[in-house]
Amino acid sequence: MINIIALTVRYYLISLVAKFMNSKIIFKILIFIGKIIRKIKINLDPQYINNRLDRENFKITIHPEAYFSVKGKLIAGKQIYIGRFANVIVAENSTLTIGDNVCISDGSHIETCPGNSISIGSDTSLQLRCQLRGDVIIGNSVLLAQNVFISSGTHQYDYVPSLKIREQDKKYCEDHGKFYSNPIEIGDDCWLGINVVITPGTNIGRGCVIGANAVVTKNIAPYSVAGGVPAKVLKKRLP
């Protein structure tokens, strides 16, 4: 288990001492610390992760009101920040890789499903309420503005058209052993504007800029500037 257990034990021991000493100020401070500790929700599989998040080669700062659950495999670098109300969920038989100097801002949601993997390169930032789901590769030095949505999965509406869409999803999973997923890859040094949507199976080349509110449904060549619904290349950044 993580150091939360140790912190909790220390908290209760010191609280007993403080109560015995009848120190109201110390007791109130400890109650506040206890509330913060209880808000941290972390479920880590010791098979893959050392029991310290703050050791030299594994530094993650997790906001007390973030949700961080790892039942699969986590590979992480240094100086990673996970913001308030962010959700990081790594399912069984899946992998999440996070490089160095990565910021996952408030309200963002990162989730792998069984059999999937997500990779976030170094020096990459996810601004408020970004979502990554399924099989996704994000390169190094990538900028995701607020509300960017990237998902390799989608509902199956024409797999067995006679069934309800929800039932088609279940049928696909039963037939293939997992939910539908078509991997997405975003190259290094890309900038995705606010509210951009990246659809399954899309590759965005190195150095691309995707304008606000664009819906990317096809591959974008390196160093392109694209925008619109569906997104189209507007110009090239480099000749």
Q: Active-site residue among 63, 109, 155, 176? A: 155
Predicted pLDDT of residue 48: 38
Predicted pLDDT of residue 141: 97
Question: Do residues 12 and 85 both lie within one domain?
Answer: no
What is d(CA 183, CA 78) in angstroms, rounded to the nearest whole number? 26
* pLDDT, greater one: 102 or 58: 102
Banded model confidence at residue 190, pLDDT cuts 50, 70, 90: very high
Question: Do residues 6 and 105 both lie within one domain?
Answer: no
Predicted pLDDT of residue 177: 77
**Smallest Cα–Cα separation from 95: which of 58, 134, 56, 53?**
134
Question: Do residues 15 and 99 both lie within one domain?
Answer: no
Q: Is 176 part of the annotated catalytic residue set?
A: no
For the chain, percent of residues with pLDDT exceeding 90 = 60
Question: Do residues 140 and 199 both lie within one domain?
Answer: yes
Question: Do residues 81 and 5 both lie within one domain?
Answer: no
Reported as a single tens digit per residue, the pLDDT across 96-112 is 999 999 999 999 999 99
Question: Do residues 10 and 75 both lie within one domain?
Answer: no
User: What angle separates helix 4-20 from helix 24-39, to the nearest 10 degrees?
Assistant: 160
The structure's pTM equals 0.75
Predicted pLDDT of residue 210: 98
Give the mean pLDDT of 213-238.
96
**What is the span of the domain harbouring residue 32?**
1-39
**Res. 19: pLDDT tops 70:** no
**Res. 180: pLDDT tops 90:** no
What is d(CA 68, CA 165) in angstroms, rounded to the nearest whole number? 30
Give the mean pLDDT of 66-87.
93
CATH of the domain at 200: 2.160.10.10
Question: Do residues 60 and 124 both lie within one domain?
Answer: yes
Question: Do residues 139 and 189 both lie within one domain?
Answer: yes
**Smallest Cα–Cα separation from 135: which of 180, 173, 103?**
180
The domain tally of the chain equals 2
